Chains A and B, each alone.
Chain A
Amino acid sequence: QSALTQPASVSGSPGQSITISCTGTSSDLGGYNYVSWYQQHPGKAPKLIIYAVSDRPSGVSHRFSGSKSTNTASLTISGLQAEDEADYYCASYASSSILFGGGTKLTVL
């Protein structure tokens, strides 16, 4: 039950696009299309922003998009806004467990 690997931090200026990667193995992230992404602001519960690799829940901005290639999933945020500054976590189905990434702190410069 090893965690998925995410960069500790990323940053970007308002209006720019950024991508956060999430790397697993063929036994978890690479083997299934059950990858989710969550946004968490300080002191708040996580909020689902992407599920099933690339689907967006209703109400989530189209600026958020997800993809996957082999054992790496990616979250792209386009048109960065100040309110996007938060922690982002990926998660994957792993047969008899759920794996989370270590989290990525997004700073909007």
Chain B
Amino acid sequence: EVQLVESGGGLVKPGGSLRLSCAASGFSFSDYALTWVRQAPGKGLEWVSSISGSSTHKYYADSVKGRFTISRDNAKNSLFLQMNSLRADDTAVYYCARAPPDTTATTPPGGYWGQGTLVTVSA
């Protein structure tokens, strides 16, 4: 069974940093691109960042470029999102999601999403 489990969310002050993790199981991890999607309270889905299976290709939304870094450890079946210089408008539930098979990193996510982890940026 495919599972994606996010962790690392919490309360952080503006300007602070946080590292999110997504533990994957049930599939050949390195064969799939992965994506972070966030959802601010009461708002819609927003693409944050995507990474190819081999980490060769990394993509970022303009709103997080230069502040967030996506990475993965294929030996540990884990996806990460390092978030620096956090702002109040980064407050959201962050989901990790798997791309469909045999697609690129910026193909919309497929049918496997985690349950999300809440990041709150507030003084």
Contacts and interface: CB of A to CB of B under 8 A. Distances in A.
Interface of A: 1, 3, 34-36, 38, 40, 45-48, 51, 57, 87, 89, 91-103
Contact of A36 (B44, B95, B109, B116): B109
Contact of A94 (B37, B46, B106, B109): B106
Given A1-B61, A98-B50, A38 B45 contact: yes
Q: Is the interface of B mostly helix, strand, loop or mixed?
A: loop
17 contacts: A1-B62, A34-B103, A34-B107, A35-B108, A36-B109, A51-B100, A91-B109, A92-B108, A93-B106, A97-B47, A98-B35, A98-B107, A99-B47, A100-B37, A101-B44, A103-B44, A103-B45
A91 B97 CA distance: 13
Interface of B: 35, 37, 44-47, 50, 59, 61-62, 95, 100, 103-104, 106-111, 113-116
Contacts of A89: 44-45
A100 B47 contact: yes
Contacts of A97: 47, 59, 61, 106
